Amino acid sequence: MRIGELARQSGVSVRALRYYEEQGLLESTRTAGGQREFENSAVDRVRFFQTLYAAGLSSRRIAELLPCIDTGGTTKEQQAMLQSEREALAHRIAELHEASARLDVLITASNARSLEAV
Amino acid sequence: MRIGELARQSGVSVRALRYYEEQGLLESTRTAGGQREFENSAVDRVRFFQTLYAAGLSSRRIAELLPCIDTGGTTKEQQAMLQSEREALAHRIAELHEASARLDVLITASNARSLEAV
DNA sequence: CTAGGACCTGACGCTAACGTCAGGTGCAAA
DNA sequence: TTTGCACCTGACGTTAGCGTCAGGTCCTAG
């Protein structure tokens, strides 16, 4: 499929797709006229990137993890990278929980005052 | 305390502290010579900011939430803001879990292959 | 064959959260 | 009083992840 179709199906902009390719995250063949041609599997791949981006990974980091993603992470180094990334994610999740808890304190404190007023 | 001391105690750079003040997140008095003077409570405040930053909030967003933080969020709008922010956090946490799960699949798949080799 | 929408390659623009000078002042110790 | 480190105010630099022209080509329907 061409880039516009991939953009529609994966829900990102054409510009973003070209950027991903530039960063080495996506591959494509070219038509005789020089237009990009993507595999159908690129749709899932791009969606996966979105998930990783949402989780706070950078393009560079995703590119580093790509061999693990494509080959399944066979070497020890790749295993270690996946592990450390998962730990980093766990750390980030904990931070979010912390922030959420802090907000909860504010919310419930305010509710308490509202109740006092009654 | 002065800005360098605050930086040390809160673990952020002097530049960052000036930036926070510029964004309306921090207040300070000035000495006769024009140097910033901070309350001791600023240390916790800055650490709280770090927590919120880590959770993905922007300076602007934190500034919007400040009235809730300082007064405890009394008005309905403030309550609504805190609630919606907490929901946004929950959403982000879910995204992180999703990403973590995707990584797990890769890791365990690889382990499975390692076992096959045995 | 032609219109015109999709695509191409630069290349500059943008925002956030600071980093990093530069050039000058405050302040506390000796 | 003289160091000399801490602090001050600009103001430009940096990075990521695209957005957005500009100017030109491809492709396909009619």
Tens digits of per-residue pLDDT, A50-71? 999 999 899 999 998 888 777 7
Cα–Cα distance measured from residue B1 to residue A96, given in angstroms and rounded to the nearest whole number: 30
In this structure, the answer to whether residues B64 and B88 fall within a common structural domain is no
- The pLDDT, as a whole number, for residue B75 is 78
Last residue within a domain, chosen from A53, A72, A91: A72
Which residue among B48, B96, B100 sits closest to A96, beta carbon to beta carbon? B96
- The pLDDT, as a whole number, for residue A6 is 97
Per-residue confidence at A72, pLDDT binned at 50, 70, 90? low
Residues of B with CB under 8 A from a CB of A: 48, 51-52, 54-57, 68-69, 72-74, 78-79, 82-83, 85-86, 89-90, 92-93, 95-100, 102-104, 106-107, 109-110, 113
State whether B102 and A51 contact (CB < 8 Å): yes
- The pLDDT, as a whole number, for residue A74 is 65
Instruction: Say whether the CB atom of B60 is under 7 angstroms from strand C.
Output: yes
- CATH number of the domain bearing residue B10: 1.10.1660.10
In this structure, the answer to whether residues A66 and A94 fall within a common structural domain is no
- The pLDDT, as a whole number, for residue B67 is 82
Q: Are B70 and B34 in contact (CB under 8 A)?
A: no
In this structure, the answer to whether residues A87 and A111 fall within a common structural domain is yes
What count of other Cβ atoms lies within 10 Å of the Cβ of residue B67? 15
Which residue among B48, B95, B98 sits closest to A102, beta carbon to beta carbon? B48
Percent of chain B with pLDDT over 90: 65
Q: HEC profile for B61-106? A: HHHHHHHHHHHCCCCHHHHHHHHHHHHHHHHHHHHHHHHHHHHHHH
Domain count for chain A: 2
In this structure, the answer to whether residues B53 and B106 fall within a common structural domain is no
In this structure, the answer to whether residues A49 and A104 fall within a common structural domain is no
The total number of residues written for chain A in this structure: 118
State whether B54 and A100 contact (CB < 8 Å): no
Overall average pLDDT of the A27-47 stretch: 96
Interface test with A, best of B68, B77, B97, B100 (most A CBs within 10 A): B100
- The pLDDT, as a whole number, for residue A29 is 96
**Is pLDDT at A73 greater than 60 in this prediction?**
no
Cα–Cα distance measured from residue A4 to residue A12, given in angstroms and rounded to the nearest whole number: 10
Overall average pLDDT of the B12-40 stretch: 96
User: Which residues of chain A have a CB within 8 Å of the CB of B110?
Assistant: 68, 72-74, 78-79, 82
Instruction: Say whether the CB atom of B9 is under 7 angstroms from strand C.
Output: no
**Containing structural domain, residue B25:** 1-72
ipTM of this model? 0.83
